[in-house]
Structure 1
Amino acid sequence: MKELISINDVSFAYREDEPAILKDVNLTVYAGEWLAIVGHNGSGKSTLAKLLNGLLIPTAGRVIVEGYDTARADELWEIRKRVGIVFQNPDNQFVGTSVRDDVAFGLENFGVVREEMITRIDEAVRKVKMEKFLDAEPHHLSGGQKQRVAIAGILAQKPSIIILDEATSMLDPMGRKEVIETVKALNEQQGITVISITHDLEEAIRADRVIVMKQGKAIMQGGPEEVFQDGEMLIGAGLDLPFSVKLSLSLQKKGIPLPKAYLTQEELVEALWTLS
């Protein structure tokens, strides 16, 4: 698989006299994957997100994005064309008086000509199913719709990587579902690489690969099936297990011969039905 981002022995501290937030982190992001980086508050996961497009620069080590080094100021423009971030609070991301203006904002910053801008805006809002809201005022939208517009603003810039930095944490269940389904479709149908920074393991279940952060270090990585079998490790990292995994482990302790912890309720029900 093609490597898009390489993180090599990266450490980071906000000040020299403070403990490091990240400590000797190594990982690779591959083209077309959905990578979930999970951890409790303070684990360093959001700091890591900001290092990936040069909002922060490593104290030690290197972050390489498609051959560009975030530590080189003259390469940051190219990196930020390739890596877009959707942040936690949708209300803090709007700068335009309409959805159309907001999606156009980033394109204006990149100097995209008007004809190309119109085409990109139309394509981007269609991909997130917000084309009916082009002239809507942002404050009239729901939280999930606002985040979908924020994603459209990133898509219009045609990045190869989208980072969701706790982008669903302030949404209600419906808004969260809207955003996750939108991102999943972009990943599967458009081949866009997704990095999801989250403490919500229900969201991480949808990823191709999961990295668990604890106290600034990556303590485990693998597919969801592999990572979610180690309930004690996840609890030790300060994470709340998904309901189906938690119930699976509880049933195993009570002597129910389940072969593994199941990631979804549907899988668990099917396994229990088979046992009966």
Structure 2
Amino acid sequence: MENIISVKDVTFLYPGEENSTLKNVSLDVNQGEWLSIVGHNGSGKSTLAKLLNGLLLPNEGAVIVSGKYSTMSQEDIWEVRRQVGMVFQNPDNQFVGTSVQDDIAFGLENFGVPREEMVKRINESVHRVGMEAFLNQEPHQLSGGQKQRVAIAGILAQKPSVIILDEATSMLDPIGRIEVMQTVRELNEKEGITVISITHDLEEALSADRVVVMKMGEKAAEGKPEDIFQQRELLLSAGLDLPFSLKLSEALLQEGVELDKGYLTQEELVNAIWKLA
């Protein structure tokens, strides 16, 4: 598959700190894939996310977007940010407009989009996330899930190639989390938008095409979810818990329930138990 982002031997050190937050990290992101980057707090995963769209610049190494735009280059930084949009943890910190449409328009104005094109993009983007009925609503009156969908609409209006979710569902209730993940999943599957999910929630990462495990500023492992999440010692050493379905299937095995293996998803586990009944 074609790479849309390449991270090459990136090291990053915050000013005033002695130890690097990221150490010689290399990573390729494939166009159209869903990549989850998981790790404990302090593992460097959110710092890596900010490097991917130029909010931070590496001390060493480079981040290349679409094969030609580098976050090392100040001339390219706005094009990088247009192509790689980011949805943050707290949706309330992202709103600057008094209504949904004003908030989406703010980002487009910063990119110099003409008014006629701006109106078109706003209408298209809210439709894509199912929020067209809320154009004149004040953002603070929306639910958490609706706020994040508006934040996603604001990114979509800029026509990015990549969306980064930086712990974007961690402050949401279960319903809001489902709303946001379903919205992004449809954008990934139907429109081919590349998704990078930064999370410590392994249940969320189970549906990714590929998983990268970060540990103490380094890439500890990379692979398909079914391979990564069977590595108990790796996950525990990285400060991560096992997915609930895997822990439960292991507990059932210990109690003598004859299962074929540890199951990653609750659906797989339920189906396997149902066959035993």
TM-score, normalisation: structure 2? 0.96
The residue type equivalent to 1:49 in the other structure is A
Q: Does 1:268 align with 2:269?
A: yes
The residue type equivalent to 2:199 in the other structure is T
Alpha-carbon distance in structure 1 between the residues aligned to 2:237 and 2:247: 14
On the 8 A contact 1:162/1:192 being kept in 2, the answer is yes
Q: CA deviation at 1:6?
A: 0.4
The residue type equivalent to 1:3 in the other structure is N
Deviations, residues 127-185 of structure 1 (Å, cap 9, x unaligned): 10000000000110001100000000000000000000011111111111111111001
Q: Which residue of 2 aligns with 1:157?
A: 158
The residue type equivalent to 1:80 in the other structure is R
Q: Greater shift after overlay, 145-154 or 260-269?
A: 260-269
Q: Which residue of 1 aligns with 2:226?
A: 225
Q: Does 1:35 align with 2:48?
A: no
Q: Which residue of 1 aligns with 2:70?
A: 69
Q: Which residue of 1 aligns with 2:83?
A: 82
Alpha-carbon distance in structure 1 between the residues aligned to 2:261 and 2:6: 33
Q: Which residue of 2 aligns with 1:6?
A: 6
1:1-276 correspondence to structure 2 within 5 Å? 1-15=1-15, 17-66=17-66, 67-276=68-277
Q: CA deviation at 1:46?
A: 0.2
2:211 partner SS: strand
Alpha-carbon distance in structure 1 between the residues aligned to 2:254 and 2:14: 44
Alpha-carbon distance in structure 2 between the residues aligned to 1:58 and 1:257: 50
1:169 partner SS: coil
Alpha-carbon distance in structure 2 between the residues aligned to 1:229 and 1:258: 15
The residue type equivalent to 2:44 in the other structure is G
1:124 partner SS: helix
Q: CA deviation at 1:224?
A: 1.1
The residue type equivalent to 1:2 in the other structure is E
Aligned positions, number: 276
1:195 partner SS: strand
The residue type equivalent to 1:71 in the other structure is M
Q: CA deviation at 1:274?
A: 2.8
The residue type equivalent to 1:113 in the other structure is P
The residue type equivalent to 1:203 in the other structure is E
Identity between Structure 1 and Structure 2 (%): 67
Q: CA deviation at 1:241?
A: 2.0
The residue type equivalent to 2:133 in the other structure is K
Alpha-carbon distance in structure 1 between the residues aligned to 2:272 and 2:63: 43
The residue type equivalent to 2:13 in the other structure is A
On the 8 A contact 1:229/1:260 being kept in 2, the answer is no
The gaps in structure 2 that reach 5 residues or longer are none
Q: CA deviation at 1:69?
A: 1.2
The gaps in structure 1 that reach 5 residues or longer are none
RMSD across aligned positions (CA): 1.2
Q: CA deviation at 1:16?
A: 6.3
Q: CA deviation at 1:273?
A: 2.8
On the 8 A contact 1:228/1:261 being kept in 2, the answer is no
The residue type equivalent to 2:172 in the other structure is L
Alpha-carbon distance in structure 2 between the residues aligned to 1:63 and 1:256: 48
Alpha-carbon distance in structure 1 between the residues aligned to 2:11 and 2:274: 48
